[in-house]
Structure 1
Amino acid sequence: MSQAEFARHRGVSKAIVTKWKGQGLLSLTDDGKVDVDATEWNLDQRPATYRGGTTHRPVRAIPQDEEPVGKPARPAAAPRPAPAAPQPVNDEAGSDPVEFDPENPNLPLAQAAQRKENYLGLLRKQEHAVKQGLLVDRAAAEAAFFDEARAIRDAWIAWPARVAIEMADELKIDARELTQVLSDYVNKHLAELGEPTDLDLSRHQQS
């Protein structure tokens, strides 16, 4: 078979056949013809996939008494061993645990997350108590206590003048003198109780 016929037989161009000849893959007879079986055997010894295309046949086994054409195939690389898992570092025996300070602004990430969850839980608990009517706004409570205390104080201040005439008539004494005496004692008592602005709600907080 001529080189042109072999090129058509292999489905390649004649230039490829010429290249194979230069690489020593083309086996020729004494009359210059292509030895098809020998040449195809040489071509099929190449890797299954290479830059020139794909071989047409599986790689043949090389007889023990013959040398392979071209470079021998590289042995398969041994699989790499899996990296060893890092071993946990144990703390020294008997070491005291680090004290958790919720007010520390430089807490580790885990403790900072714990503090956040604790505060969020307290906030949700407070919101629930407000919805249930168990908690009220402090400013509103202070205003209500102040108004109530002032109303009680004003009522006590007006009380001597309101009852002195009737009391004086029953006691058969001067109403003006009784009014003055009652007013003095009421004012003294109110002074001991203090002004409404001095109200301290902390004494009334639930334990």
Structure 2
Amino acid sequence: MGVSLRAYAKHRGVSDTAVRKAIKSGRIQAETDGTIDIAKVDKQWDRNTDRAQQRKSPGATKAVPKAALDAVADTLSESGNTAGGTTYMQARTANEVLKAQTNRIKLQQLKNELVDRAKAIAHVFRIARAERDAWLSWPARVSAQMAAELEVDPHKMHVMLESYVRQHLSELSDIQPKVD
């Protein structure tokens, strides 16, 4: 005594109609009482079924790149969803959140509220270079006046000021801004 057609269909992960068609076409044989001997019929099913003609099972999915899964997980965590795993609804939610974020960024671009990173870095670089150049020219402008007030050699004063300004600028150049 075996199991019913529906129980065998559930065991195989197919519809009971598929089992009936397999019996009708002769790929598998039911017992005389109409039940299915699972071990015997599994062998018949595997032997007599053309794999190329099979549909992919509902559980079979394409491999999803890890980067895509990480992006979905990040989006879900940003939106407050901290449940483990990713269901279809969570993926759809993540997709809608990403669309909303993309649209918000496009709107900010249209309103000129966003700053181009490359332009901002170039602008800061130009400002820093102009400030450095101003500091490098400062000793030449003030050293003679300072030397006269202090009654010291103007050349020595200029060399001394320039040395300290360059030392100070060298210390400042060790500071690396973070532009992540």
Larger Rg: 1
State TM-score, norm by structure 1: 0.43
- Return the TM-score normalized by structure 2: 0.49
- 1 or 2 for the larger relative contact order (CA 8 Å, sep ≥6)? 2
Write 1 or 2 for the structure with the bigger share of helix: 2
